[in-house]
A and B are shown apart, each in its own frame.
Chain A
């Protein structure tokens, strides 16, 4: 019971920090630019959380950029060309990506290890080239001057006001991203700590045995991959709304690799690993900016050292022996 109380307290503190303390600190210090940084961290960690789930079933996924890009385009096209409400395009972008993941996943999820990783890496590039070639995505010129999100109302009741009437749009986007992040990770936590997580771990550890105890491994893999891509899609959709533009190069291969690194760095055994990993990598990179031309050298050396000495991620420092995955 004590453990449970501690958990509730932890969640409470976390929610307080992101919804009250951070906006207050920013207000006091006047560093409004931090909103953009933190919003990006929240959105990137949603996409990384998806990648983490594919790791959890034993697949190295370096293709999340493809789904973030696809989600971004779906939202942009629906908003600009068809006048669909931005709020509706968030789930639609996610569903589009989940559906695409099912189609792509059935054949490629049969591959394992480095072969699957290579295919997903290619996927990011395929998505970029597709966006370049299709007429609907407007080629290299991309889609720009996307309107701000409009009002979200149900039965005449305004739930979210029109963003163009809000004084502080940065804060609004920050809240939107933070809420989505909390919901996404709550869902991930629930998946991992229910029997579904158990089944995912059985896949991760031994697919042959999993199928011999009656688990439909192909089905479960595709489900996990679809959820993963859904998360990539919604984060892409919101990114586009913030930058109000999207181009084929909006989510390059580097992003796909970063999503994976975030998971590695945070810890593959911990649900909240990708969140922490994203924060550390994003800020770490920015802090190193002051070192000028040595930025990349220091950054990559630190990453290599971390992987060597903390193979289970940063969170393994705090919770020795209590691996979130083997509850």
Chain B
């Protein structure tokens, strides 16, 4: 099976600083792949380039063998690569349900003028989006609070809403930026189940994360970055045994003596 997403020699330089250096890996359809690494390893930068929120300095990202790097975010989203955000980025003054409804944009069949006139297509769109939003909201356990303003939600629900927004776009690949950050053990475990559920709906998941136990639990494969370089790639088990990874996270013995 050919990979759904190929990252090929992607490099990002900010002036003299190399945030990502010649990074390559493949993402297979239907897997959960995590990108991990210490702070400042270049994970978020890599994410932004995959979602075309930032141009690459060198290299390219292919989605189903089609180049998707260096485009506009909305164009990449149209193709099926959708990114959620590190912070709890949502539409704050809308209700939970409205947040999800508006995110159905890519499924629109009518155009703006059609919505203005209220054509048949536009009406069926609006009906369909409402139904689908209810479905997604229930799936992510937000059913009880669907009419709550998003700005009133607690952290755990906000994260779920972020995933709901991503799902509403009907993505082929969902990029989750630190979905477990700032969560306690229970919340993390619940979110892990949600992410699994998302994958079971046929969405490939690519996530950036710090939380090691969660990553080891959820991932099919893991890519490890350190100082902007890829230092390892493999199953959670292989990664746990990898000397370079242990060194990156715990420091080498020489370093320990140096301190």
Contact = CB atoms under 8 A, between A and B. Distances in A.
A194 interface: yes
A199 B77 contact: no
Given A196-B115, A196-B116, A326-B98, A213 B93 contact: no
Nearest to B92: A205
Given A195-B122, A198-B98, A213 B89 contact: no
Interface residues of A, number: 25
B77 A213 contact: yes
B205 to A, nearest CB: 16
Given A211-B77, A214-B74, A223 B112 contact: yes
Interface in B117-173: 118, 122, 125-126, 149, 165, 168-169
B82 interface: yes
A194 B102 contact: no
A211 B122 CA distance: 21
Contacts of A209: 85, 89-91, 165
Given A205-B92, A205-B93, A215 B112 contact: no
A205 B94 contact: yes
A211 B125 CA distance: 20
A126 B103 CA distance: 39
Given A202-B102, A217-B74, A194 B93 contact: no
A205 B88 CA distance: 13
Interface residues of B, number: 36
Contacts, number: 88
A190 interface: yes
Interface string B71-109: 011100110001111000111111100100111011010
B85 A196 contact: no
Contacts of B108: 195
B222 interface: no
Contacts of A194: 115-116, 118, 122
Contacts of B115: 194-196
Nearest to B101: A198
Contacts of B106: 213-214
A208 interface: yes
Contacts of A206: 89-92
Interface of A: 187, 190-191, 194-196, 198-199, 201-202, 205-206, 208-209, 211-217, 220, 223, 325-326
17 contacts: A191-B116, A194-B115, A198-B102, A199-B105, A205-B91, A209-B85, A209-B90, A209-B165, A211-B74, A212-B73, A213-B82, A213-B102, A213-B165, A214-B105, A216-B74, A325-B93, A326-B94
